Amino acid sequence: MTGELILVLLVCLPFAGSLAATVLLRTDSRVLAARLAGGVAFAGLLLTAMLYPAVRDGGRVRFDLEWLPQLGLNVTLRMDGFAWLFAMLITGIGCLVVLYARYYMSEEDPVPRFFSFLMAFMGSMLGIVLSGNVILLSVFWELTSIFSFLLISYWHNNAAARDGARMALTITGIGGFCLLAGLLVLGYIVGSYDLDAVLAAGDVIKAHPLYLTALVLILIGALTKSAQVPFHFWLPNAMAAPTPVSAYLHSATMVKAGVFLLVRLWPALSGTYEWFVLVGIAGTCTLLLGAYFAMFQQDLKGLLAYSTISHLGLITTLLSLGSPVAAVAAIFHMMNHATFKASLFMAAGIIDHETGTRDMRRLSGLFRYLPITGTLAMVASAAMAGVPLLNGFISKEMFFAEAVETHADSMLDRMLPYIATLAGAFSVAYSLRFIHQVFFGPPPTDLPKPKPHEPPHWMRFPIEFLVLACLVVGIIPSLSIGPFLHSAVLSVLGERTPEYSLAVWHGVNTPLIMSMIALIGGAALYFVLKDYLARCDDGPPLFRHLAGQRIFERVLVTVSWKWARWLESRLGTRNLQPQLRLVAAAGLLVGVVPLYIAGFSPKAPVLGEVDPIFAVIWCVGAFCAVGAAYQAKYHRLAALVLLGGAGITTCITFVWLSAPDLAITQLVVEIVTTVLLLLGLRWLPKRSEKVDNSVTLAARSRRLRDFVLALSCGFGMFLFSYAIMKQPVPDAIASYFLEKAYTEGGGRNVVNVILVDFRGFDTMGEIAVLAIVALTVFALLRRFRPAADSIEKPEQQRIQNAYDDARPERSAGDTVRDYLLVPSVIMQWMFPVVITFSIYLFLRGHDLPGGGFAGGVTMAIAFLLQYLAGGVRWAEDRIRILPLRWMGFGLLTAAATGMGAWLLGYPFLTTHSQYIELPFIGKVPAASALLFDLGVFSLVVGATVLILIALAHQSVRSHRVRNPEAPKAEEA
Amino acid sequence: MSGWQQHLIIAPIIIPLVAGALLLFFDERERVLKAMISAVSCLALAAVAFSLFRLAATDGFEGVYLLGNWPAPFGIVLVVDRLSALMLVLASILAIPTLVYALARWHAAGAHFHSLFQFLLMGLNGAFLTGDLFNLFVFFEVMLAASYGLLMHGSGPMRVKAGLHYIAVNLAAALCFLIGVSAIYGSAGTLNMADLAVRIGEIEGERRMLLEAGAGILGVVFLIKAGMWPLNFWLPGAYSAATAPVAGIFAIMSKVGIYVILRLSLLVFGQGASAGLGLNVLLYGGMATIAFGTIGVLASQALGRLASYSVLVSSGTLLAVLGLNNGVVTAGALFYMVSSTLTIAAFFLLIELVERGQDAGASVLAVTMEAYGDADEEDEEVEVGVTMPGTIAVLGICFAACGILLSGLPPLSGFVAKFAMLSGMIGTNVSAEGPIPASVWWIVGLLILSGLAALISMTRAGIRTFWASMEGTVPRVLVMEMAPVMLLIALTMALTIQAGPAMRYMEETVRSLQQPAAYIDAVVNARRAGIAEPGGPDGGGGI
Amino acid sequence: MEFVLSLGIGIMTGSGVWLILRPRTYQVIIGLSLLSYAVNLFIFGVGGVKSNAAPLLEEGVPISSMTDPVPHALVLTAIVIGFATTALFLVVLLAARGLTGTDHVDGREQPK
């Protein structure tokens, strides 16, 4: 099996397993899921092991697959010694954790979900260590955040788990985004996202002006992931996760991703003063604070979590120093920490499992119940404390050795030895406490589960294995981990690989003394604090009350909720008027600004050319417009009449200025619109000036503003139209139409020819609009409910009916009929006349003013008249019209006419025209355009009638009670 | 021009028109039949769109259609190029799942759903295809009129109120549109976009001024459609009030404005005095929109509003990025547009299912129930398909997918899109020399923040919906409601895997947009059917 | 001519804008109608204003004397669409009035 194939399998296998677990397994198949996960992890371990020969002494395996080549994002997998070591760690500890979890998880839990997440996480983690493209790396980076979220919140009915998970995701998510940005900048500097290219370009990067930007962004990513101060607080909260998760993600693997990245990019980024300061401060603070906090935890897992933070701080500090030996120590300590910390978490899990609590104040003297687990825990925590003959000791010695060296000479550097020793003492103290308080002392009194006992052997096996590893590495380092570590170091440092010796005994030197001081001091510290610790509340004395996560939560809520809502209400609106105001203002702005820039100044008009009659007409028109604006609130009918006046003025203007077609159309539309509005008036609420004339100052100012806006819009429009009218249109296409209208369009009425031929497609869309609107109106009115106060019949009608009721010989409605007798008769007689007229308008359209639309509306008016004359019932008894059919027919006819041209091999809507003789009417253009116009006609009739009827019908069904449901308030 | 290929160009407009008209002949009760017609039309549309897509991708394809066989600029022309083909495909892809979703329940909530749906598609396709400014107005109106109807489909106070605002704003916009178009006609003497691009060079003095004024007013209209702050307050109300399938198809409506801006800005106003000004408006307006959308995403509790604000974020992103006027980034933006449209549609469809178990959704349903329970209503809720097994799990996975997509996390297409844009701004693909300008850093920051905001509020909402509250109540969800959501998400996955080819198409598209000469040439010299020399003096359109 | 016409357009626009900024739906619809008149006249005016020059082809009438027919066609389309949308808006405002019980544009009375 080739190396490339192995790499691909290594990454894909876990995801495949995860998918299988989700899809195939039933929620109760616990053992099967565990076996699957274990198998996957073990297979991964074997595959990784198989690659060792290839990566030994500096070799590397590489797999390339194009994904987004033009942007330099490819699926590049790349394994070298360092990645190999990590892959071994991930898969190896993976196996142990799965084995442990198989016993740890309880009957109720939906285990397949757990294992599928776990496997997916394993895959993402392997992806991080194996990706040879920095963008791909950030892809897997985010994936680990997502799966850690899902794993922490595995018991999602527990609020702590939910919050912990969300916090972890938010913090690491922020980090991930910053990391991506940083890596992009890195790519910008280097000119490639390929890891090898990036590593090769170290000097270019450090010299580049954007180095600091990239560095800071990447560091935010790494430090958040590795829970470094000040981003550390998510880790303790993540302890709400099931213990296997804590052991795997939050001690062995995921939290290592941050430091992994620092090591990975160490050759490219490290060695500068910025690096030393930023990384160093973060590292030392974390090292010290973590250890200090750890001493005062009462929760077993809390203690371990803070100790993890502190150890990660140690690694970071080592990396900050920028010396090769320090890097070696860092890599070495990653491995050691993973082994002993994972085993400790599992031990804590067993204790929790057996006793039902993790609170050290309640635990004591468990050694008599759990002798083996106890022993193992002791060895592991000894390693954590850095006791000789254990792996923790060796890497810590190397750390001390580095601490005393001077690197970038500075305050921080000079303080380092003391900080290191102090932190060492702390770690001794909390390790001691972990053992002493849990396993020694009097037998426990108030355990939730009395009578704890040793767990099944296979549950303990992972711990045994790891502890054994601690011992082996601790006693014969150079024989056990030596070669593997070397190949890892080689792959990171290349030719800068230093001389270093993994030995237990280097003779009596400063580091040894420091260790001794740390051991003794730590022990002393613990026995001084013992009694206090046995009683005190959770958390260190000084910092107990500034809990990171509470601050975080509060900030998050304030920023992402309170402020956001406030801003939303300030920057946005849910009311209509401001929006229209903005639209008007924007239109005014962009319309007038160019005029202003160009310094436009209209030429004063010569009074001679103003036709007095026209001017008078327009005085009336203007009066109507303003009057309508003034009356619309209180006197709707008056406003409607005035609106009509304005419409008539428009109409006359069209006539005057040689646009007969427009005039006709405008007129018929005017009529229909007015009727519609009249029909609508009845449903609007009564409003009289007496009721609401309480005009506040605010209202006045609002009106003033609107008035100014309206005035300026009017003025702007005036200027604009004056300017444009004075500007003769460049004759680009107009004359073409005039020339071809008859010769090619076959019609004398150029406008109509344009409508049905040159630009027939517009007309097609326009009738579609009409149809759509009619349908919408119909659909809406089907659900129409009159407001409560407009249900009863109008006042006048009531009076008349009352009068009728008073007379025995009259029945209700007679008076109305009497009043309307004459008009209704006339209207009924007019029916045929109007119909004929409409058909006439339609037919002559192609040559003279008229056409399908005008004709259609006219016919609709004819029907409308019948409604007005006889009332809805009467009309519908006599004329049965199916508007929908008319509309459908119209649309289809128009479309079919257009498609007819296809048969002759011409594009849509190509026309064909000739004249035919019709009796009585005379010569009629029988252009195929006429057929098209017939479609228009039919649709217009249908749509208009549908709208009118739908509206007219409401008066018939107005008695229907409006359902009491109050208008819903907008949701908060 | 000859052969079926040419006539294929107009099919995307004719098919829905005919389908919509046919639907009018059948009574509301014949639901199955109506559904059939609608579905067939959508499938046909998809087929046509895809074949046009493939044609447009081949070089030397003259995608110009002279309506009525009149030569440009006198008649109306339809033009298919890579961009319009892309939009056609996107629209037709979106139509199918939304329609299927509607068939499960919603199409029965009111009258004439299918006709309106078809007409909406007709309007969309027309707007994408037309090469004539006034015809563009007409198709905008077709699209909008249908959208009014669909928005208020199912009636109820919330929808009608939202509809009132939506219509009022859009009518004002339509009036501006008319002013703008006629001003352009008055100053340039033409309505054909390509012809305008030719003439715009030699327009000076007062004409130029009027032209710019007209163009500016048009720009305002398109920015309203695209939802640029502060002209976008109508959008959250309207989108969150609409029924799920309608909101789903609306996901592409805000993109129409973007499309037109992209088209005109590069074709007509690519150069000249007013170009720079416009770009700045796009840039800063877009940034403001991202910020506002981000704030809204954080501030909204109801999922519907959250989704609507995500629409704003996506519009803002596109506008700002277009404002940069940088080829590489624009290609990324096109990819982002496709991805985010699919995402938002999926999310809108999902929301209604998720909330069905809860008050918010229940109230929306209640509105329609009240409509059903009407005295003279025959329609009752029809059950189609069978209820999903393992509903919660599937819903949860889909919700997570939407969250990942919205916040631009890997591995779905949201990440690829964001990366593609960022890489062109601060990554290896930065084309411009010299230091990266501040505005770019601002956009990068806003993009990251918006992603973060989406992450925060999606986790918040998800936890509240699935873990805190939905313990007991399992919403009744039909397979044919779930399938569309999954299909859309699957599409984003496909987009992720096929990122390479997809991006290549986008890059080609941008390249062709940046050299409008070919487009103009194709339109101006388009040959008429049955006539030897184009636009000959004696050449007759008739036979 | 132009002066009077454009003045008229300006006045109509002003009244229309004022009305669409008012809180009552009826005012808004009247405003929209006024605005559409103004806009139609504007489009129409773009083509230049001439008397007795209707674009109706007859023997002996020189084409050059006729007005530009294109704006007329545009206005016709605009009128139709304007009519349709006005009708729609009317029905919507009636429905809103029915469902919300008020004729305020926001569906609820604003606190004064």
pLDDT of residue B274: 61
Closest residue to B213, CB basis, from A720, A737, A746: A720
Q: What is the pLDDT of residues A946-956, one digit of tens each?
A: 888 888 777 76
**Contacts of residue C80 in chain A, CB cutoff 8 Å?**
665, 669, 766-767, 769-770, 853
Chains that touch B (3 or more CB pairs under 8 A): A, C
pLDDT of residue A691: 54
Averaged pLDDT, A848-865: 84
Note whether A613 contacts C: Cβ–Cβ < 8 A: no
Cβ of A71 within 8 Å of Cβ of B169? The answer is no
Which residues partner with A962 through β-bridges?
Answer: none
What single letter denotes the amino acid at residue A65? L
pLDDT of residue B372: 37
Closest CA to B314 of B282, B292, B336: B336
Note whether B22 contacts A: Cβ–Cβ < 8 A: yes
Which residues partner with A601 through β-bridges?
Answer: none
Quick check: B416 and B335 in contact, CB under 8 A? yes
pLDDT of residue A908: 86
Residues 441-500 of B with CB under 8 A from C: none
Is residue A914 packed enough to be buried (19+ CB in 10 Å), middle (13-18) or exposed (0-12)?
exposed
Confidence of residue A965 (pLDDT cuts 50, 70, 90): very low
Residue ranges, chain B, pLDDT below 50:
1-2, 360-385, 533-543
**Contacts of residue C97 in chain A, CB cutoff 8 Å?**
683-685, 787
* pLDDT at A681 > cutoff 90: no
Tell me, rounded to whole angstroms, the distance of Cα B543 from its chain centroid: 40
Quick check: A37 and A118 in contact, CB under 8 A? yes
CA distance linking residue A366 with residue A839, whole number of Å: 104
pLDDT of residue A283: 93
pLDDT of residue B430: 81
Closest residue to A907, CB basis, from B24, B65, B459: B65
Averaged pLDDT, A521-545: 81
CB pairs under 8 A between A and B: 393
Q: What are the counts of helices (DSSP H) followed by strands (DSSP E) for chain A?
A: 39, 4
DSSP string, B403-459: HHHHTT-TTSHHHHHHHHHHHHHHSTT--S-SSPPHHHHHHHHHHHHHHHHHHHHHH
Confidence of residue A918 (pLDDT cuts 50, 70, 90): low
Closest residue to C46, CB basis, from B152, B163, B182: B182
Note whether A565 contacts B: Cβ–Cβ < 8 A: yes
Cβ of B455 within 8 Å of Cβ of A904? The answer is no
**Contacts of residue B175 in chain C, CB cutoff 8 Å?**
32, 35-36, 39
Which residues partner with B77 through β-bridges?
Answer: B66
CB pairs under 8 A between B and C: 84
For the beta carbon of residue A451, count every other beta carbon within 10 angstroms: 8
Chains that touch C (3 or more CB pairs under 8 A): A, B
Distance between C12 CA and the closest CA of chain B, angstroms: 13
Cβ of B185 within 8 Å of Cβ of C107? The answer is no
- The token duo for A697 is 């100052």
pLDDT of residue A959: 47
**Percentage of chain A with pLDDT > 90?**
41
Note whether A708 contacts C: Cβ–Cβ < 8 A: no
Distance between B526 CA and the closest CA of chain C, angstroms: 22
Interface predicted TM-score of the whole assembly (ipTM), two decimals: 0.91
The H or E element spanning position B149 is helix B133-151
Confidence of residue A688 (pLDDT cuts 50, 70, 90): low
Of A879 and B199, which is predicted with more confidence? B199
Q: Residue A689: what are its φ and ψ, rounded to 5°? A: -60, -30
pLDDT of residue A177: 94
CA distance linking residue A360 with residue B507, whole number of Å: 63
Half-sphere exposure of A549 (CA within 13 A, CB side): 18
pLDDT of residue A538: 75
pLDDT of residue A42: 95
* pLDDT at A841 > cutoff 90: no
Which of A528-532, A913-917, B416-420: highest mean pLDDT? B416-420
Residues 757-796 of A with CB under 8 A from C: 758-759, 762-763, 766-767, 769-770, 772-774, 776-777, 780-781, 783-788
CA distance linking residue B2 with residue C61, whole number of Å: 39
Residue A749 gets which letter from DSSP?
B
Kindly report which listed range (A335-349, A564-578, B115-129) carries the lowest average pLDDT score. Answer: A564-578
Averaged pLDDT, A45-51: 93
pLDDT of residue A11: 93
* pLDDT at A670 > cutoff 70: yes
* pLDDT at A540 > cutoff 70: yes
Q: What is the pLDDT of residues C13-68, one digit of tens each?
A: 999 999 999 888 999 999 999 999 999 999 998 887 777 777 777 777 777 778 88
The H or E element spanning position B64 is strand B64-66
Which residues partner with A64 through β-bridges?
Answer: A76
Which residues partner with B64 through β-bridges?
Answer: B79
**Contacts of residue A772 in chain C, CB cutoff 8 Å?**
84
Cβ of B160 within 8 Å of Cβ of C42? The answer is no
Note whether A760 contacts B: Cβ–Cβ < 8 A: yes
* pLDDT at A539 > cutoff 80: no
Note whether B459 contacts A: Cβ–Cβ < 8 A: yes
Distance between A68 CA and the closest CA of chain B, angstroms: 4
CA distance linking residue A398 with residue A485, whole number of Å: 14
- The token duo for A841 is 């308008």
**Percentage of chain A with pLDDT > 70?**
89
**Contacts of residue C49 in chain B, CB cutoff 8 Å?**
none
Beta-carbon contacts of B211 under 8 Å, excluding residues fewer than 6 positions away, are: B183, B184, B187, B188, B200, B203
Confidence of residue A764 (pLDDT cuts 50, 70, 90): very high
* pLDDT at A962 > cutoff 50: no
Cβ of B234 within 8 Å of Cβ of A579? The answer is yes
Note whether C81 contacts B: Cβ–Cβ < 8 A: yes
Report yes or no on whether pTM surpasses 0.90: yes
Distance between A636 CA and the closest CA of chain C, angstroms: 8
**Contacts of residue A618 in chain C, CB cutoff 8 Å?**
4-5, 7-8
Nearest chain B Cα to C13, which residue?
B175
Nearest chain C Cα to A717, which residue?
C10
pLDDT of residue B476: 77
Confidence of residue C111 (pLDDT cuts 50, 70, 90): low
Averaged pLDDT, A160-180: 92
Residue recorded with tokens 């000469």: B517
Of B165 and A600, which is predicted with more confidence? B165
Cβ of A732 within 8 Å of Cβ of B299? The answer is no
Closest CA to A753 of C45, B178, B535, C72: C72
- The token duo for A968 is 């819903």
Cβ of B168 within 8 Å of Cβ of C35? The answer is no
Which of A703-712, A719-728, C64-73: highest mean pLDDT? A703-712
For the beta carbon of residue A845, count every other beta carbon within 10 angstroms: 30
Reading phi first (left if > 0) and then psi (alpha if -120 to 50, else beta), residue A549 is in alpha
Of A918 and A565, which is predicted with more confidence? A565
Tell me, rounded to whole angstroms, the distance of Cα B121 from its chain centroid: 11
Distance between A183 CA and the closest CA of chain B, angstroms: 8
- The chain-wide mean pLDDT, for chain A, equals 86
* Distances, alpha carbon B296 to alpha carbons A563, B237, B358, B374, B398, in Å: 11, 12, 22, 37, 22
Interface test with A, best of B426, B436, B496 (most A CBs within 10 A): B426
Q: What is the pLDDT of residues A722-762, one digit of tens each?
A: 888 888 777 778 888 888 888 877 778 888 888 888 888 99
